[in-house]
Structure 1
C-alpha cells in the first residue's frame, strides 16, 4: 500500500508558503527592531518623567526653603529676642498679612505650648496643635520641618512649616507658618508637562498638597493603593504603573528625595507611551502584507510551469509501479531530468530489492519466533523459581518449627547446665530463619509482590526495642522520646535488625545507633568499627548477593541480601538509605532517612489481659515432632491441648469436644488446611471458635488465602512463644 501523507498540498500552495516563510525572518526582525526602538523611546519618556518629578521636587524644596528663610529672619526680630511676646505678635501679624499664601504665624515654647496665633487675637487661649508630630520633630532635631496638610476649623486646607528659634538668653521657641496649598499649586501650574499628564506634590504623609487636575477635590487625599504599592516596591524613587484617584491607568514617575520628606509625582496616561510604537508596527505590517501579495502572484505563475513537468514524472512513476516501460519526457529543469534518470535506475533495482526483502522477512519471522519462545521460557522459569522458593520456605520452616518450640520449652524449664548450648542453638536457628526470610523477601521484591502495611509508628520506640533485644552486641543508643513516621513497624524493625546484624557479622565490637529528627525528616544512623568497605564495594553494597570479600571459611555467613532488602523497604517508605566508609578497616556508616508524619492519637489500653485463661486447644500438624513440641509448650502455658496429625483426626476430635482455639497446619496429607477450616466452621455450628493458621507458607498470597478461608490469624513457622501467645490471646 502506497504511503499517503496525512495532509496534502498543491505545489502552488507550497511555493506561496515558501515565500511567506522567507518573508517571516524579515518581518520578525523588523517587528523586533520597532519593538526595541519603542522600548527605548518608552524608557526615554520614563526618564524624562522622572527628571520632571525631580525638578518638581527641587522647586518645592526651594519654595519651602524660602518659607524657612523668612521664618528664620522673623525669629531674629528684637522683640522676640528680648522676650516681648506682644510686640513680636504685632511683627508676626504684619509679616503674615504681607504673604498672600500665609494664613498666619504660630509661636510655641520649648514644651510645645502655643503662645499665640496671628489668626486669633493676642491672648486667645489655644487648646490643641495641628500636626503635633511635626512640632515634636522640630523640637527634637532643631531642624526646619514641613508638616502634613490638614483642614482647619474653618474647612481650609493648609500645611505648617516649622523653624526652631533660640534667643540670646537660650530660650527655645518654634515659629510656624501656616501655608495655603495655593503656593504649591502655582508651582505645579508653572511646570511644562506633556498633554494629559498629571503632576502632584505630596507631603511627608503622601497626602495631596497640590495637583494639576481636580485640586479642590483631591487636596489632603492619600495616595491610591497602586501608587502606595509602587512606592513600596521601587524605593525612594522610580517609575511604574499606578492608577489615579479617578481610576485612570497611568505610567507614574515619583521621587521622595526631598529634604523635607515630600514627594513629587508625575503621571502620564499609559496609552500615550505606546501609541507611537503601535503606529509604527501598523505601517510595517501593511508593507509586509503588500510584499506577501506580490510574492503570491509570482509563485502562482512559476507553479504552472512546474506542475506540467511534475505530471509527466507522475505518469513515469505509475509505469514503474505497474511494471510497464518508462516513457520520460525531456525537461529543461536540471533536477527534474535527474529524477527521470533515477527512475530508470530504480526500475533495475526493484527486482533485486524485492528478493532481498523476502529473505529479510523470513529471517525476521524466525527471530521473532525464537524471541517469543525465549520469553515463554523466561516466564516459566520465573514461575518455577517462585514456586521453588515458596516450597523451599515451607520445607525449611517445617523442621525449624519443632526446633524453635523445643528451645522455648527448654527456656521455660531453664536448666542452668544447658543455658550456653541453648543460647548458641537459638542464635544459629535465628540466623537460619533470617536467611529463609531474606530469600523469600528477595523473591517478593523481584516479582513486585513486596508490600507494606503502613500506619503511624513511633520510630524511636521501634529503635529502642530493636536495640534492647539485639543479642550479643555492644550497642550505644541516642534517640529522642518520640519520632513519628508513616510505615510498617515490622519492616522498620527488620531494617534496623539487618543493619545491626551486618555490623556484627563484619567485626564491629562497638556499634552506635543514633536517631534524630528535623522539621521534615527522621534520620537513623548506624556506625560500626568493623572491617569497613572499599570504594568499589560502596558502589554496589545495596545490590542483592553483594558482600565484602571473605575467606573460604566464611566466618560471617549470610547470603548478601540484608542490605538489598533494607534499600527496598526504605524506598517503599518514601525514604532513602546511604552507606559510607573511610576505607577498609575503618568501620562503616549507614544512614536511613524517612519523612516525618503527624503523631497518632493515643490508643486506650486493653483491660483484663493481665491473667492467662486456660483454653481448650486443638493442634493439627502432620509433622509429629512439630506437633509434639508445640503441644508441650502450649500445655506449659496453661492450656489443655489435643493433637491430631490429619484432617480426619481433627474433625473427629472436634465432634468429641469443641475447642476454644484450633491451630491448623495447611499442608495436611488428606485435606488442606483451608478446606479443614471451612469444615470446622460448619461443624462448630456458630459456636465461638478461634482458627489460627500455622504454616511454612508465608508469602502475601498465602496470608490472603488464609483470611479468605475464615482464619482469624496467620502465623509463619517456626512459631515462637510470642506467636503462640498471640494465637491464644483473647479477641478484642
Structure 2
C-alpha cells in the first residue's frame, strides 16, 4: 500500500471540505433570497387582510347603527315625521354619512334626510343592491354611485322587518372619504399605494391622489392580477404612475370589496440582496480562514509525531523512552502512555495472580447470589398465587423452613390493633403442634428486646445467638426463657412486617437442633422475604377490603335505584290529579283563571322535567339507555328542540336567533334523544340569560362533521367551573332565590347522549358575565339525505262510549280522572283498592280497566292477574287493561306489558293521550284534528 504524508492528507481534507461548503453556500444564498421574497409576499398579504378587516369593520359599524335605527318605535307607528327627526340627529353624529334614506319594498322613497320631509320625486340612485336586499332580506353594501346631487356615495342597506315581513329598506349613504380615513389610520409607508375597490371594481379610496382617481377602474396590471388570484393573492403590477410594485390583494367575503396594497419592488429587492451579499461574504471568509488554519496545523503535527516514532522503537528495545514535552494534548497523552507502559510491565505478573484469586472469590459469591435470587423468585411466585392470608402464611413457612431456619413464626396485628398468633411451623408436624401449644400460652412482654410484640412496637429487627444452657441467663422475660429452653433455641432473627407504611406484624426465624447460625446474607435474605411477605399479606387484606367495599357499593347502588324509582312514583302521583284538573279547567273555559293555569302548567312541567332528568341519570349510570337509531335530519332535530323549549323561550323579549343550513344534513341517531340534547342546551341558555340578551342556535358543516352550536350572552361560566361543567350535579353559583333552578343534571345527560352517538360536546366561556357557547359535534351520515318524517297529526278522540273500571288509591286523582272520562262519554266505576274493584264486577262488567300499580294490599299486577282469570269476564270480549302508574322505568314498562297489561302509561299523563290510547284499545274511531 502506497503511503501518503500527513501534509498531503490535510491538503486533500481541506479541498474536500471547501468544495461541498462552496456548493452549499450557493444553495443557501439562493434559498435565502427565495425565503426573503416569500416573507415579503406573506407580509404584504397579511397587511392586505388586516386593512380589509378594518374596512369591513367600518362598514359593519354602519350596518349595526342602521339595524339599531331599524328598531325605532316610530317605524311601527308609521310616524315618518318622528323618524325623520331621529334620522337627522343620527346623520349629525356621523360626519362621513351623506344621508339616511327610507324606502318601501316597491322602491318608493318614504324619507330622505337630505331633503325636506314629504319630497316625493326622488328615485333610487343604485337599484341593483336594493333589489338584492328585497330578495335576501339581509344587510348588504352596494356599489358606489353618484346621487341626486352628483356626489359619489356608498349605499349601506338593512331590512326593516316586522312579524317576519319586510316593511321598509333603510339605507345610509356613506362618503368615500370615510374609507380613505380608514386607510390613512393604518399608517402605511408613504411610498406604498393602497386602493379599495367596490364589488363593481370601482375605486372607492386611494392612499395617493384619492380625488383624482375616485370611481376609476384598477390599473391594467392590477385587473389581470385580480382576475388570476381570486379572493386573495400576491403578484407584480404597475401603478397608474407606472411604478413597479409588488401587490397583495384581499377580497372581503362580507362586502365583496377588494383591498390592494402595492409595495415598491425596489424596497423588497434591496433587503434581499443585502442579506445575500452579507451571507455570501461570511461564507467565503470562513472558507479562506479554514484553509490557512488546516495547513498550519498539519505542519505543527509532523515534528512531534517523529519523536513518538523514535520513543516507540526505544520501548521495543526495553529502554525507557525520553520525550520532549509537546503542546498538542493528544500527542502528549501518547507520550505519557508510552512512559507508563514501561512502568506497567513490571507489575503485570503480580496483578494477574491477584485477579485470578479475586475471580475465584467472585464466582463463589455469584453462586451464593444466584441461590438467593432463586429463593426470592420462588417466594414471589408463591406469594402471587393467592390473595388469601392463610395461603400466604403457608408460603412463608415453606420458604423459611428448612432452607434458612429450623422454625418460623409469624404474629399479625388484627383489626383492633392486638397481636395474634398466626403461624408456628417446623418441618416435623409433631414439633409444629408442640410449638403452637407453647406460643398460645406464652406471651413475651413488648418491653423485652427480641420479642414479637417488641418488634411490632418499635419497627426494628433483632438478631441473637445463644450457647445453651449458660447463655440463656441473658433472657430476663420468663415466657421468652421458657420458650427458648423448650425448643433448644440456638439463634433467632426477628423482623417486623411492614407494607405501605403500615406495620402488619412480625416474622421470626429460629435455629435449634441444626446448630446453624445466621450470617449477614441470611439476615438480608430474611429482610427481603419479610418485605415481600408483608406486601402479599397486605394485598390479601386490601383484596378482602375491596370485596367488602364492592358488596357495599352494589347494595348502595341497588338501594339508590330503588329510591329513585320510588321517588319518581311518589312525585308523579300528586302531579297526576293536578294535570287532570288543569285539563278540566281548560275544557270548561274558565278565562278568569287562565293566567293561574298557565303558571301551574309551567311549574308542573318543570317538576316533570326534574323527575325525568333524575330517572335518566339513573338509567345512564346503569347503562340502561337504549337508542333507536335511524337516519335523521339535523334541521328536524333543531325544529323539535325549539318546539320542546317554546314554553320557556316564548317569554323572552329577544327571540332565539336560528341559523340552519339550507341543504339537508343527515346523521345516524335517535331523533328523540338528539332533540333532548339540543333542548337541554337551549333550556340551559334560557335559564342563565336575561330575556333581552342574545341566544343563538346555529348548525354548520365542518368536513364530515356537523356542529350544533348554542351560544348565549348570559351569566357565563367561571374558569374553575368550566372543566367540570358536564359533571353530575355541577352548577354555577346562584343567588338565594335560585331563579335558574335545576339539579345540575341536564349537561351531564347531554354529554352521555352525545357520546353514545359517537360525538363530542364542549363548552367555552370568557368568564363570568361574558356568555357561554356549547358545541355538539356529530359525524355526518355518508348516504344521501333522508326525507323529513312528518310529525304525527294530533288526534282527538270521538268516543262512542264504553264501560271503564278506574282503580287508584289516590282519591283526588281518581275523582278528577272520573270527571274527564265521564265528560268524554264513558260509563265509569271507581274503586280505591283491589278487593273493591273485584267486588264491583257483580253489577258492572267493564270494557277497559285503568289500574294503578302501587295499590294497598293487592298491587296492580296481582289485580290484573285476577281480572284476567275472573269467570265473570270470560264470556265478554277480552278486557283491555292499562297500567296508569308513577313507576316509569323501562323495567316497569316491560314488566307491565309482560303481565297481562295492554298498555303502560306514566303519571301524570295528558288527558288527550289517555283518551286516544283508550280509543285505540277499544276500537273507537279517531278523527284527525285539522
TM-score normalised per structure 1: 0.50
TM-score normalised per structure 2: 0.40
